[in-house]
Homo-oligomer: A and B are copies of this chain.
Amino acid sequence: MAKKSKSALKKKEGVSISEVTNASSIKSIKEKRKAAIDINTLVKALLKKDITALSRAITIIESKNPKHKAQAKSILNHCLPHANNSIRIGITGVPGVGKSTFIEAFGKHLTTIGKRIAVLAIDPSSTITKGSILGDKTRMEDLVKNENAFIRPSASGASLGGVARKTRETIILCEAAGFDVIIIETVGVGQSETTVHSMVDFFLLLKLAGAGDELQGIKRGIIEMADTIAINKADGDNLKKAKLAKVEFNRALHLYPEKSSNWQPKVTTCSALKNEGIDAIWDIILEYIETTSKNDFFNKKRNEQNKFWLIQTIEDQLKSDFFNTPKIKKALVNQLQLIENNKTTPFAAADYLLKLNN
C-alpha cells in the first residue's frame, strides 16, 4: 500500500508538474498575446481619437511599474509616426493671475473655431503637496464637459526631469490622438517654466497690471522667454492700468536683444473673465507660427528641443549612476570630511572619486 501510494504520488506529481508547466506556458502565451492585442487595440482606438484609450495609454506611460515599460515603449513607437503635428503652447503666470479662467476662455475659443485641444500641466510641487494644479478639474467647468477638449492633471514624479519626460511623451500621445493644440500650464514659480519652455513652440506669459515683478514673483529669465505677454484682468477699474502696463512692457521688451526667431515679442491685454482679447491672442500665435515657419525657426526650435532633452536625459542618468554607486557613496563621505578638515581640495577629491569609479 505504501508502495502503491508512492507510485500514485509519483504519477500524480508527474502529471501535476506537467499540467502546471503546460498551464503556465499557455497562460504566459495567452497573457503575452492579450497584452499585445491590448496595446494594438488601445493604439488603434487612440488613433481614432478615442479619449478613453488616450487616458489609458497616458496612464501606462506614467506608470512606475517596470512591467509597463515595454508597453509604454510600444505605445510610443506606434504613436510617433502620427505625432509632431500640433501647436504646442506653454502658459505661465503666478497663482492669482487667472490661468485657469484664461485657459477655459482660450480653450472655448479654439473649440468654437473647430480645434481640438489638450491641456496638460507641469507641476513639480504636486509631488510634495500630493495635489495637482489641474487635479481639481472643477476649476475648468465648461472645458471639462467639452468633447473637443482633453484635460489631464500633472504627472507626478520624484524629479522635474521625470515629470518632464512623462509630459513630453504625453504630448506625443495627444498629437497621435489628433489634438491640434496642446496647452501646457505651469505653476509660475521656480524651475518649471524653463522646463515647459523647452517643450513648446510658443510661450505665453500672463501678468497683472500694477504689481511689480517682485510682487508677481516673476524672474527676469521668464520675461526673456515669453513670445507674448498678456496682461490679464484688463476689465473694469483695471482697464486703464492694464493699458499703461502694456505700453511699459512694450518699451521694456524692446530693450532686450532680438530673438533668433526674428519674432518681436508682443504685449497685449485681455480679460478672460469677460472673454475679451482672447481671440486676438490666438491670432498672435498664428502670426508667430507663420513667421517662424517661413524662416524655418519653427522646425529648428523643435530639433533643438529634442537635442536638449536627449542630452539632459543622458546627463541626469550619468550623475545618478555615479552618485548611487555604493563604493562612491561611501568614499564621498570620507572625501567631504577631508575637505572639511582642509586635508584636500574639492578638485583633488573629485579626481580621486572619478578614478575610484573606473
Contacts and interface: CB of A to CB of B under 8 A. Distances in A.
Interface of A: 73, 76, 80-81, 83-84, 165, 168-169, 172, 213-215, 219-221, 252, 255-256, 303, 306-310, 313-315, 317-319, 322, 335-336, 339-340, 342-351, 353-354
Given A168-B346, A310-B346, A318-B319, 5 more contacts: A214-B252, A220-B220, A306-B339, A306-B346, A310-B335
Given A81-B342, A172-B345, A345-B169, A255 B313 contact: no
The 9 closest A-B pairs by CB, nearest first: A313-B350, A309-B346, A310-B346, A220-B220, A214-B255, A318-B318, A306-B339, A314-B350, A306-B346
Contacts of A348: 73, 76
A333 to B, nearest CB: 11
A116 to B, nearest CB: 20
B342 A168 contact: no
Contacts of A318: 315, 318-319, 322, 354
Contacts of A220: 213, 219-221
A66 to B, nearest CB: 14
A345 B76 contact: yes
Given A84-B342, A215-B255, A340-B303, A169 B317 contact: no
A353 B318 CA distance: 11
How many copies make up the complex? 2
A347 B80 contact: no
Given A73-B348, A220-B220, A255-B214, A342 B80 contact: yes
Contacts of A336: 306-307, 310
Given A255-B215, A303-B340, A306-B339, A345 B314 contact: no
Nearest to A252: B214
Contact of A347 (B169, B303, B308, B335): B169
A310 to B, nearest CB: 4
B255 A314 contact: no
Given A84-B342, A306-B339, A306-B340, A353 B314 contact: yes
A350 B318 CA distance: 11
6 contacts: A76-B345, A84-B342, A165-B347, A172-B345, A213-B220, A318-B322
A298 B172 CA distance: 49
Contacts of A169: 345, 347
Contacts of A349: 310
Nearest to A220: B220
Contacts of A252: 214
